[in-house]
A = this chain, B = another copy of it.
């Protein structure tokens, strides 16, 4: 009753912000993302009658609460009552906008389900992962992914729209972290509706998602990049106009956002997107990875550069 899973973080081209059901983590809108090949969480779960209580070791820190709630969901599905030991490691910083909760809860979902003896479909794994952390549902399938806009738990899950090798684009992450973000994502989510602009945003999301899917299908990088960047700024405009306002950018984020426009004006096709944190994702075609990396290397405040291509979803590690 022990299993290890690896799951990727994902980068959303259209964002998840605001929930229509807090408990079930049903988002206000569907979203489109890509699994990231090099932002990974590896998680081992073991259930045993020898354990007296759940033990959760996340990157060496015990962050028990949400993980234990998630184990409870798995135990309920598997109809078992055993305590578990969970050991989880990220190969990247957490709490800085790289969506470690997505990779973390996707890996936990798959490892725990397997260790509990469940044999779940990709759809059921995605539904289960979503209940741990919304965007984790997008880290179950591989490649380019859509989180369907369902109104019930059974219809709110992620599916692959294109496999990883469909389109040779990349996400070059610039780590500019100056410590963890001050406001956890989940606290900000709950106040999305306090922005006067939220109804306008929600009215636009279906059309925006349809357009992103078409642009990926057509491999129209310019329009795809423009839409991705505008969507990130729209998300952050919602957060800036919430009560209280949320500012996730740091000086490094802002500098790179402005530099990207200059680099583009200089002939390098690259666009940014930013999640709820300071680290910034630069989207480019794979042929331009070296150029983007070279630009970032010139910046002394960039602490790390992580190059991602469209990656595999959550998978078991067979030892």
Interface residues of A (CB under 8 A from B): 196-197, 199-201, 204, 229-230, 233-234, 236-238, 240-241, 243-245, 247, 249-251, 254-255, 257-258, 261
Contact = CB atoms under 8 A, between A and B. Distances in A.
State the oligomeric state as a number of copies. 2
Is chain A's binding surface mostly helix, strand, loop or mixed?
Answer: helix
Nearest to A253: B254
Nearest to A255: B251
A245 to B, nearest CB: 5
Contact of A197 (B200, B255, B258): B200
B245 A254 contact: no
A249 B236 CA distance: 14
17 contacts: A196-B234, A197-B197, A197-B200, A197-B237, A199-B200, A200-B200, A229-B245, A230-B245, A234-B241, A237-B237, A237-B241, A247-B257, A247-B258, A249-B254, A250-B254, A251-B251, A254-B254
Contacts of A230: 241, 243, 245
Nearest to A203: B196
Contacts of A245: 229-230, 233
